Chain A
Amino acid sequence: GNSVTQMEGPVTLSEEAFLTINCTYTATGYPSLFWYVQYPGEGLQLLLKATKADDKGSNKGFEATYRKETTSFHLEKGSVQVSDSAVYFCALRGSSGGGADGLTFGKGTHLIIQP
């Protein structure tokens, strides 16, 4: 079956530091890959997505590239801010299930940015 593995954290960084959150996946076929963010007390918001190999998703200074050869979709940001503190979820939607398949999520990475 499909699965997503990501570092769980917490990851603590200083403001303006470089961020990488690793995400690797297992899936059959050609999944789409997503990063969602959950701010404290809120629901999940789509941060970025990529739907085919070598696609780069980007939003709000965050980037992730769909690497089929390494089955990875690592999230990066060049300079983090305190407001980026949240839980980040890597997710995939597989192409082999058919019908209205749900997303398969990683366990989430809690990011804490200190001033």
Chain B
Amino acid sequence: DTAVSQTPKYLVTQMGNDKSIKCEQNLGHDTMYWYKQDSKKFLKIMFSYNNKELIINETVPNRFSPKSPDKAHLNLHINSLELGDSAVYFCASSQGQGTIDTQYFGPGTRLTVL
């Protein structure tokens, strides 16, 4: 009965490769997010997305692109991976877009770029 799931849990790859991280939520939520947690545990929003619009944090390189095949999934594609992309990536979802709507997080994907 996992609410927000991500695969893979760990991802080790070489610089320059292209990789994807998958996220699925079974909560019936209509808004999903991607966050990046750096080595100092600092969390920052990368994208938020619902079936109408994508909001991109302007600091995210365009090598990162979210893709949503349906309302329950938001995958993260990363092209030309760089060493600085090494981090833990968290997917989250919420019922609505309002201020009071709680975001529920997945377990995270630890990406290591060698």
Where the two chains meet, the residues of A that have a C-beta atom closer than 8 Å to any C-beta of B are 30-32, 34, 36, 38, 42-46, 49, 51, 87, 89, 93-95, 99-105, 107-108, 110
Contact = CB atoms under 8 A, between A and B. Distances in A.
Given A42-B107, A43-B108, A44-B105, A102 B45 contact: yes
B107 A101 contact: no
Contacts of B31: 100
A52 B23 CA distance: 31
B48 A99 contact: yes
Contacts of B57: 102
Interface string B99-112: 11111111110000
Interface string B56-85: 010000000000000000000000000000
Contacts of B104: 46
Contacts of B106: 43
Nearest to A52: B100
A100 B107 contact: no
A34 B102 contact: yes
Contacts of A34: 102
Contact of A107 (B40, B101, B103, B105): B40
A93 B41 contact: no
A77 B101 CA distance: 25
B43 interface: yes
Interface in B15-48: 31, 33, 35, 40-45, 48
A2 B49 CA distance: 20
B86 interface: no
